[in-house]
Amino acid sequence: MKTLLSTIVGCSIASLTLITSAQVVSVPGTANPWLAGQPPGPPDGGGDSAPAESPVLAGSVIPGGTVTWTATGLESNGPGYPEVGPDGDLANLSGFGLIDHYFGAENDISDVLNVPIDSLMGVFLGPGGPSGPVPTPLDFSVIGLNYTSLSPTLDQPFYMGDGSTESLMVPAGATSLYLGTMDGFGWNNNPGSFTVDFTEGVTAPDAGSTAAMLGVAFGLIGFARRKTS
């Protein structure tokens, strides 16, 4: 019976590990970071609107935590342009080089400077969504694209890349991380997608499923204890 209890407890702990660590998210090329937390509305000047071009909610985060990930896939800033990986068009195959957001700060979310087009992007939001004042934009010609640790603020978009060197510190007040891709404007015709596998720091946003899994795990432990008494 002790062996049975140990086995069930071990399986239960493994279940808890699964629901509190790995989170895999698909990010379409159409995901515009500047629509994070926005309600449905009319298109912006580039033809994008929520929810059609909204970024993807990656999951929940805890302030002060560290976020790590690996990203794969191919995406393009429009039909006919070369598809590239999460690091973006570092080889400048499309001829756009490093870009900023065409509209600058938008929807209380800051601009970002000198980021490769088609790269994986993120932005942390608090529970009420973007609220201002708008942060100063991050400049990746100064920060570098192969940073080892980055500490963005709320509502401040940032380059993520494939995660091979990069990690993030979750800012105070953050409750969620949204993912998108980098374009100047007009995400609505961007083909392709990225798959982002979070190895640390992001959990599934569905708290109900987590609670259910916890209930199953501890229920199994209780059952095993009754069987051994």
215 and 175 inside one domain? no
Q: Return the percentage of the chain with pLDDT > 70, whole number.
A: 80
Residue 27 lies in a domain: no
74-84 residue pLDDT tens: 999 999 999 99
Full residue range of the structural domain in which residue 112 is found: 33-202
Nearest-5° Cα angle at 206, 18 to 165: 55
| One domain for residues 126 and 185 | yes
Q: How many domains does the chain have?
A: 2
> Structure tokens of 198?
């979070």
Let me know if residue 165 belongs to a domain. yes
Q: Output the pTM of the full model.
A: 0.82
Q: What is the pLDDT of residue 84?
A: 98
Q: pLDDT (tens digit, 9 = 90+) per residue, 86-123?
A: 999 999 999 999 999 999 999 999 999 999 999 999 99
Domain identity same for 10 and 47? no
Residues 190, 81 share a domain = yes
Residues 147-159: pLDDT tens digits? 999 999 999 999 9
Residues 6+ apart with CB under 8 A from 226: none
CATH number reported for the structural domain that contains residue 79 in this entry:
2.60.120.430
* Preceding amide of 133 cis, omega within 30: yes
* Per-residue pLDDT, 206: 58
Q: Average pLDDT, stretch 184-204?
A: 97
